[in-house]
A and B are shown apart, each in its own frame.
Chain A
């Protein structure tokens, strides 16, 4: 009986987690493109550093979600 309750709980948690996923359309990525979305204490500085790194190393978006937001950079 306990096992059944546990499985039920796990299934419920799984359902909750799955429903949290959503497809973000390319034109809806304005919020994601905001520097504040960078997981850093100083998002603006981090954005500048990232930009600088892009030019130096030819890499984009390795450290955070912030970018052009278009998925084409």
Chain B
């Protein structure tokens, strides 16, 4: 019984310290403007107050091909009702827009979130992208709380738990 209590306390402490660490390492985002492929003008600051995932991807990148459908599913599951809890901004870095269009038409699902293009690579420079895909989790205060480089199946659970933690903060405040 005592061991169970101790284990429980350790787990609680670990969870609390993980949260504190994540907050400590939070980086303020620099705002950016862009135009979506649907022609809508977007500022990152417009999404202040929401949890935002910014995803840098390209059609030629293998891990992006695995990550993108997962993000679509994640978005749909989280935003089931009327209220939008999560926003995803997918920034495409393909040099050729046709490649991106082919990638999107080949997907099984329609993409429900905005897609921006940046063939000149200005935004990844600004956000110090080191690998493809790079996924940033931004909290409702506009701070980058989690940063992921690349994508493997193991990342799915991490994405979900981090996202849930950020959404929970959103509800608590």
- Give the B-binding residues of A (Cβ under 8 A): 25-31, 33-34, 67-73
Contact = CB atoms under 8 A, between A and B. Distances in A.
Contact of A29 (B63, B132, B133): B132
B124 interface: yes
B62 interface: yes
Given A70-B150, A72-B150, A27 B129 contact: yes
Contacts of A25: 121, 124-125, 129
Given A70-B131, A71-B131, A27 B58 contact: yes
B75 interface: no
Nearest 6 A-B pairs (CB), nearest first? A72-B150, A68-B62, A70-B132, A27-B93, A33-B60, A72-B131
B56 interface: yes
A25 B61 CA distance: 13
Interface residues of B, number: 24
A2 B62 CA distance: 54
B102 to A, nearest CB: 13
B62 A73 contact: yes
Interface in B120-172: 121, 124-125, 129-134, 149-151
Contacts of A28: 95, 121
Given A68-B132, A70-B131, A30 B60 contact: yes
B56 A27 contact: yes
B87 interface: no
A70 B121 contact: no
A46 B154 CA distance: 28
Contacts of B132: 26-27, 29, 68-72
